[in-house]
Chains A and B, each alone.
Chain A
Amino acid sequence: MEDTVTDMRKTVERGSGPRAFWVLLQRTRASCADAEVHYLRGDMRSPARLELAADEAGAAACGGLVEVHRGKLPGLYELTLPAAVLADGAQEVFVSVRLPQAPAVVLEIDLVAYAPADGGELGLGGFRRSVRHEHLTSIFERVMRASVAALLNPESESR
């Protein structure tokens, strides 16, 4: 039986880390501890290695790679990336995950300025209620002052 190696693409709001991602890896006899993870942000010249670490319970810590469930979700791993990898300053980051005796899998992450999961305002500053309120208030005030002045002093308006 041959496993499929899949490269993946994700879209996340920049600066939203640390955050876990699912990656599909070809299964080998190697354990997560043998994995190599590198990342390359748009603002970096060369890839950096991510040190994998696990907490005392063996669960993912920042930079941790954990096999989710070998029987039901074969090949699926959870990779937690530290905040620095997803920080503001780059538009994309490539993450390469490799287990011994298996090809590397590349996860491409688009670091966008909006929040895809925000169904209210999409994380856009211009859609914030306070911003729209302030904008509308300044327009109304200007228009109303001009309208009232014209009503109270129609001659100045006609001149």
Chain B
Amino acid sequence: MNLRLRKGTTGKVVRVMIRDGAGGGRTGLAHDAAGAGASWLGEGSRTPVDLELCPPGSGFTPGGFREVDARAMPGLYELHLPDEVLAGPGNESVLALRFAGLPPTYLHLDLVGYDPYDSERLGLSCLAQEARHACLSSAFRDVVPAIVDEIRSDGRS
């Protein structure tokens, strides 16, 4: 499963499909199921970091893991990603969920510099109001004195 998120995103809850060896959705898993474990790795590192799964609280709970609805969406789970997973410095992270008797479920996170959900400026700093204003101002500052000087010298001649 691949997700594209802006690097530095915080408080992110993702939904993960967990399948059994035959490809069907595996129901009934919890944070304390047999063999339950999770580890993640940031780009550039070869040392996995363990993530302790826990029941989610009422709000964002790093490591929170729960089944969504075993009847309506069998195999779908909710995972509260710790902010460190999305913090970089690399441009991607990978997270593995492990349960006894199941193949590992991988979550691949592309950490991009832009904000795919910003309809105004795609999260790009160069398109921010202040950045555009600064660019316009500096262009004005460079042009005006030269033209004023020309006018003055024309007036003197």
Contact = CB atoms under 8 A, between A and B. Distances in A.
A133 B139 contact: yes
A interface, by DSSP: helix, strand, loop or mixed? mixed
B125 A120 contact: yes
Interface in A18-49: 20, 22, 24
A10 B7 CA distance: 16
A120 B124 contact: yes
Contacts, number: 115
Size band of the interface chain B makes with A = 35 or more
Contacts of A129: 126, 135
Size band of the interface chain A makes with B = 35 or more
B125 A119 contact: yes
A76 B94 contact: yes
11 contacts: A2-B21, A4-B19, A69-B39, A74-B98, A74-B104, A76-B96, A116-B114, A119-B6, A119-B114, A127-B126, A141-B147
Interface of B: 2, 6-7, 19, 21-22, 37, 39, 41, 43-44, 46-48, 50, 91-92, 94, 96, 98, 101-104, 106, 108, 110-114, 122-127, 135-136, 138-140, 142-144, 146-147, 151
